[in-house]
Amino acid sequence: MQQIIDRRLAGKNKSIGNRERFLRRHKEQIREAVRRAVEGRGIRDIAQGEDIHIPKRDISEPVFGHGQGGKREMVHPGNKDFVQGDRIERPQGGGGGRGSSSGQASDSGEGEDDFVFHLTKEEFMQVFFDDLALPNLIRTTLAETPEYKTHRAGFSSDGTPNNLHVVRSMRGAIGRRIALGSESRRELHRLEALLEDLRAQPGTPARLHEIEQIEADIAALRARIDRIPYLDPIDLRYRSRVRTPVPTAKAVMFCLMDVSGSMDEARKDLAKRFFILLYLFLTRHYEKIEIVFIRHHTQAQEVNEHDFFHATETGGTVVSSALVLMEDIIQARYPRGEWNIYGAQASDGDNWHDDSPRCREILEQKILPLVRYFAYIQVVEQEQNLWHEYSDLAADTPNFAIRKAAEVDQIYPVFRDLFRKEGAAK
């Protein structure tokens, strides 16, 4: 009798490896499409899938085939009114759809439609963050993790008394006592039965002597059995608890932006994209992310997202005000042991002349020791004193990076550059 096999639970996605290879092969087109998508999207709908178009000729697998021309004969069904010898106009447009051997039809002429497929959200992000990794992430999750969680991991033979597992220990003790005493007990039972027998018979001196002998043996056996300890140190079992490091799952991201008069809409848009990317990147690594928006001109203030991007202020620029506020907020709300802190600052580089050295000082002494990473992006080409101060600092500080991006399409490469896998970059 044959059995019907139920394969339904055997797992689908057998083709996942093939799909990966397909994506891998068309990485460049996909990257390009993703880059374009990122440029065109708003902050809210960045994390979505995307339709990828790949020109058909790029994915075709060439095989030898016949081209147009020559003489061929085709048989078709459904003759309506033809008779032998009729002549028909050659259909225009390649006649690709007519042939029964469809293999060559798609390759010849028309049919140059794109191959379109949907990149899932996960795959989209995968491409997006492709060879990036969170800076210092390995250190965060493995070496420096401040948080531990203990959980049970079976039983062990040593431990503290408060972890003693009584039932387990007693079970072990019983087993040990049975194992150690069984031989003696069997012997005891045998001798007792023998003794019974001898006593039942009339007592001759020899027999009495024998009885005595047996009684002595029995006493010795009893003593041996009694000597087996009720509870031995080797019986003891303790609950085992192990401490495993728990990576901190919380991150806070500070967005610092200059909203002084010199930052126009286009520059703000540039800054916004930079923040989006950082935000998305963090969402991949942390369960919970808070964002703090700090905008500044001569004074800094914490605002909500809408105000951050849309309200305009005028006036001069004192960058250090934002840094001071950031530090205050960290001290007040985000203790370092619990939060992974990231900072991202966007500015046009315009600053009150005397303020730039102060910015550097605050960063170097107060903020950088607290944060995992701090990135500064300048949205204009021109280098001013803030840039000079920062670039001095960035040169010998691993968790501080600065870049310039003057055009929308430079944001993405800049971002990739900033967060390139450690070690891969330099």
Partner 1 sequence: MSDTYDRRNHGRAASPDEYGGRRPAPPLRAPLPLKERPASRLPAPSDWTFELIEQYHDVIRATAERFGLDTYPNQLEIITAEQMMDAYASVGMPVNYRHWSYGKEFIATEKNYRRGQMGLAYEIVINSNPCISYLMEENTMAMQALVIAHAAYGHNSFFKGNYLFRMWTDASSIIDYLVYAKNYVAGCEERYGIDAVELLLDSCHALMNYGVDRYRRPSKLSLTQELARAKDREAYAQQQVNELWRTLPRKPGRDETEREAPRFPAEPQENLLYFIEKNAPLLEPWQREIVRIVRKVAQYFYPQRQTQVMNEGWATFWHHHLLNTMYDDGFLEDGIMIECLKSHTNVVYQPPVGHPAYSGMNPYALGFAMYTDIKRICEAPTDEDRAWFPDMAGSSWLETLDHAMRNFKDESFIGQYLSPRVMRAFRLFAITDDDTEPTLEVSAIHDESGYRNLREAMSRQYDLGSREPNIQVWSVNTRGDRSLMLRHTQHNNRPLHDGAYEVLKHVARLWGFPVHLESIDGQGGVGRRWTVDPSTA
Residues with Cβ within 8 Å of residue 72, at least 6 apart in sequence: 66
Nearer to partner 1, 24 or 306 (CB): 24
Contact set for partner 1, span 344-403 (CB under 8 A): none
| Sign for the pseudo-dihedral over CA of 265, 270, 274, 276 | positive
Structure tokens that stand for 79 in this block: 């003759």
User: Does 86 help bind partner 1 (rule: CB under 8 A)?
Assistant: yes
- C-beta atoms surrounding 188 within 10 Å: 18
Please pick, from the candidates 27, 36, 53, 66, the single residue that binds partner 1 as defined by CB under 8 A: 66
Please pick, from the candidates 6, 45, 226, 396, the single residue that binds partner 1 as defined by CB under 8 A: 6
Q: Least distance (Å) from partner 1 to the CB of residue 122?
A: 15
As a whole number of angstroms, the distance between CA 426 and CA 417 comes to 11
Strand residue runs (E) in 108-161? 114-119, 148-156
Please pick, from the candidates 36, 48, 65, 208, the single residue that binds partner 1 as defined by CB under 8 A: 65
As a whole number of angstroms, the distance between CA 258 and CA 351 comes to 10
Under DSSP, the state recorded for 296 is E
Structure tokens that stand for 68 in this block: 């147009």
Nearer to partner 1, 3 or 201 (CB): 3
Nearer to partner 1, 75 or 143 (CB): 75
Residues 209-248 as x/- pattern, contact with partner 1 by CB under 8 A: ----------------------------------------
* Single-letter amino acid code for the residue at 282: L
- C-beta atoms surrounding 193 within 10 Å: 10
Q: Least distance (Å) from partner 1 to the CB of residue 6?
A: 5
The helix or strand, by DSSP H or E, that contains position 215, with its residue range, turns out to be: helix 205-227
Structure tokens that stand for 245 in this block: 């490091």
Unique residue bearing structure tokens 């203030």: 301
Strands 250-258 and 340-347: parallel
Please pick, from the candidates 28, 45, 87, 424, the single residue that binds partner 1 as defined by CB under 8 A: 87
Cβ–Cβ under 8 Å, residues 96 and 110: yes
Cβ–Cβ under 8 Å, residues 228 and 314: no
User: Does 107 help bind partner 1 (rule: CB under 8 A)?
Assistant: yes
Please pick, from the candidates 42, 85, 202, 205, the single residue that binds partner 1 as defined by CB under 8 A: 85
Please pick, from the candidates 42, 44, 45, 77, the single residue that binds partner 1 as defined by CB under 8 A: 77
Nearer to partner 1, 71 or 426 (CB): 71
As a whole number of angstroms, the distance between CA 404 and CA 389 comes to 14
Name which of 49, 53, 48 is nearest 33 in CA terms. Answer: 53
User: Does 79 help bind partner 1 (rule: CB under 8 A)?
Assistant: yes
Please pick, from the candidates 40, 42, 62, 423, the single residue that binds partner 1 as defined by CB under 8 A: 62
User: Does 84 help bind partner 1 (rule: CB under 8 A)?
Assistant: yes
Q: Least distance (Å) from partner 1 to the CB of residue 86?
A: 4
User: Does 111 help bind partner 1 (rule: CB under 8 A)?
Assistant: no
User: Does 28 help bind partner 1 (rule: CB under 8 A)?
Assistant: no
User: Does 157 help bind partner 1 (rule: CB under 8 A)?
Assistant: no
User: Does 61 help bind partner 1 (rule: CB under 8 A)?
Assistant: yes
Residues that bind partner 1 (CB under 8 A): 2, 4-8, 10, 12-15, 17-25, 59-80, 82-90, 97-102, 104, 107-108, 115-118
